[in-house]
Structure formats: C-alpha cells, structure tokens
Amino acid sequence: MNAQFKGSDTIQAPYTAVWKFITSPELVGPCIPDVTASHATSATDLVATVKVGVGPVSGKFEFTASIDPKPDEKRVFIKIHGEGLGTVVDQEASADLRDDGTTTQLDWIANATINGKLASIGGRMLEKQAEKIIQKFFVNMRTNIGALQIA
C-alpha cells in the first residue's frame, strides 16, 4: 500500500530554533506519539520503539530515521524504516522551512510504502490513524520547541 501525506504547519518560534530542533534526532524522537524509547545513534540518525494500534491490531514497531539537512535550501529530508506486527514501513519525507521573522512555516510532504499485516487492514483506516499521529507529532513538536524557547 502506498500513501502520501502533506501539509503545512506554523511554529511560533524563529527559524533558527526550529531548524536546530528538527535537525536534532535527540530532540525529535520524544515528539513521536506513543514512543516508548528513542535515542540518537549519530548526529543525524535515530532509533525508536513506538506502540502502534490500528483497528484490531496493536503492538510495537521498531523505527530507524535518518535526517538529511540542507541548510542552504532551508529544507530537510527524512528517511524512515520501520518493522513490527508483520509489517514493514518505508517513508521518505521532506520539509521546506520559511522564516516569517518570529514564526516559521513548515511545508511538508511524506510518501510511505506499507507492506504486510497492517496494509491488509485497509487504506482508509490506516490513513486516518496516520493523520492522527502526524497531528499529534506537530502538537508535541510545537510544545517542545516552545519549552526550549522559555528555558
């Protein structure tokens, strides 16, 4: 099953703070909804364990993510590979950042390929769950960036 997700999000923080955050695996990892463990394995790579539930299927996924920042383009690429519950997920995503002075606009797109048990549940249910996870990720990210701004 192939799926594409895209959107735009405004972060109430200057570009430099957002850029530092989204290119730091140790800061991004805790923003993943239902993460039970995450740690940076390098300056650009992350390993995470996530609880997943889609319809009658629930369990854990092991994910690896690689962040490829392109500061001259104000763009970041992320490759994700995950396995669990008899399912394999591969995703490529990118985000373009626009500096509005006190806020930063993220325009993002993600293309995912899902094979296995979860893919057989059906695209509509899986896409709705993915949209909820994406929304929660951005809520977590905004909260965590805001906390760093205060500290």
Instruction: Please report, rounded to a whole number, the percentage of residues in the chain having pLDDT higher than 70.
Output: 97
Spatial separation of the C-alpha atoms in residues 39 and 27, rounded to whole Å? 9
Q: Kindly report the number of other CB atoms within 10 A of residue 97's CB atom.
A: 19
- Determine if the pTM surpasses 0.85: yes
Ranges 14-18, 121-125, 128-132: which has the least confidence: 121-125
Assigned token pair, 72: 């001259």
Domain ranges for the chain: 2-150
Across 55-89, b (16+ Cβ under 10 Å) vs e yields: eeeeeebebebebebeeeeeebebebebebbebbb
Beta partners for residue 87, in sequence order: 84, 116
Q: What is the pLDDT of residues 55-104, one digit of tens each?
A: 777 889 999 999 999 999 999 999 999 999 888 999 999 999 999 888 99
Level-2 CATH architecture, domain 2-150: 2-Layer Sandwich (3.30)
User: For all residues of the chain together, what is the average pLDDT?
Assistant: 90
Give residue 149's pLDDT: 67
How sure is the predictor about 39, in pLDDT bands with cuts at 50, 70 and 90?
Answer: very high
